Amino acid sequence: MHQQHTTLATYFELMNCNGAVRVYQAARECGIIDALREGAQSIDQLSDRLSLQPHPVKLLLDALEAIELVERTQKSPVPPASADSRSRQDLFELAEVLKLLSDEYADLGGSYWDQLPKFLATGKPLKHMDDVGESEFQYAKQAASLRWMMTPAAMEAASYLQQTPASKRTQPYHILDVAAGSAIWSLSAARINPQAIVTAVDWSGVLSEAENTASQMGLAQRYQSLAGNIFDVSLPAEKYDQVIVANFAHLLPAEKLLTLLTKLHGATKPGGQLVVVDVFSGQATGDISRTLYQLGLEMRTAAGRTYQSKELQSIVERAGIGSTHFRPLKAMPHTMGFVAGRKQE
């Protein structure tokens, strides 16, 4: 009986997932999503504007509301002739998740996953996001979305890594954020630590999103940046109390990662901390996200791979960082964790 229940649950989950994606795709293709980006509208307004039939539009919006992609923001104050006509005057708007999705993710990766059969047939990546020539362009498009996706995990990491009470922090605390993207990992730490000063390193086209993040978090006065390839950028010796490398290690082969971490060791103060944040196995709730991520990573990079925590600890230690430990991050997407250690004083 238990096996039958599990089988049925899997069946309905697959059917509902597929149906939900198809409903969303239809809403995009017929213009409903774009129309709602302009503001709340009723079923009749959408139907008239897009030359659609009101009743099917109602059914589609009911489904979008059930899967939390739209919200019913205002119900008609006028008693209607029927419940159906009342709902046709209700106002709908996009839920927060669709307001946040950028163009790169607006199709939920559909155009990306459409290339999976080709990858299976050739074994060759379809993009080279780990290539210097493509990296800036590709990650500039994704930085904003990655920011809100990673915020819960970044906040959890910051609360663990910034444990010194604020009353005991009297000296500037310099944080270097390597391949920073939106800089959400370092800025989350700076929000907790009032003495923290963040230096973000990334391509100039990506750093604009880091600047936006700092401004929106009220941390612009404690944020600065270095534009360029981290392997080429000159770093001051032994300046930083904490060096964060987040969502970057998976793009580098082991020896190249070791080269980077050795360079960062030189920029870390004696007693300072090096933190490598990435995707790791170990959380059952994140298995689907992690395995899809690993598949997607190899579809878009030439040398991308995820590391086991012990393997990454070994590389960090070879770079001269001691007392390493691994900690999984329980926040969504339930795939992240970090290896941290300290430079000898």
b/e 93-121 (16+ beta carbons within 10 angstroms → b): bbbeebeebeebbbbeeeebeeeeeebee
b/e 306-328 (16+ beta carbons within 10 angstroms → b): bbebeebbbbbeebbbeebebbb
Give pTM, 2 decimals. 0.91
Beta bridge partners of residue 268, listed in sequence order: 240
- The list of the chain residues with pLDDT below 70 reads 75-86, 102, 164-169
- Each domain of the chain, given as residue ranges in start order, spans 2-100, 125-343
Residues 275 and 244 sit within 8 Å (Cβ to Cβ): yes
Q: What is the pLDDT of residue 295?
A: 96
Retrieve residue 88's tokens. 């046709």
* Tens of pLDDT, residues 205-246: 999 999 999 999 999 999 999 999 999 999 999 999 999 999
Q: Options 3.40.605.10, 3.40.109.10, 3.50.50.100, 3.40.50.150; which CATH number does 125-343 get?
A: 3.40.50.150
* Tens of pLDDT, residues 95-145: 999 987 767 788 998 988 999 999 999 999 998 999 988 888 889 888 988
**Rounded CA separation 328/153 (Å):** 10
* Cβ neighbours of residue 15 closer than 8 Å, sequence gap 6 or more: none
Q: What is the pLDDT of residue 61?
A: 97
Q: What is the pLDDT of residue 133?
A: 85
Question: How many residues are given for the chain?
Answer: 345
Q: What is the pLDDT of residue 3?
A: 85
**Rounded CA separation 205/184 (Å):** 16
Q: What is the pLDDT of residue 111?
A: 86
Which CATH topology does 2-100 take? Arc Repressor Mutant, subunit A (1.10.10)
Q: What is the pLDDT of residue 79?
A: 53
CA–CA distance from 48 to each of 24, 42, 61 (Å)? 20, 10, 15
* Cβ neighbours of residue 213 closer than 8 Å, sequence gap 6 or more: 147, 182, 183, 184, 187
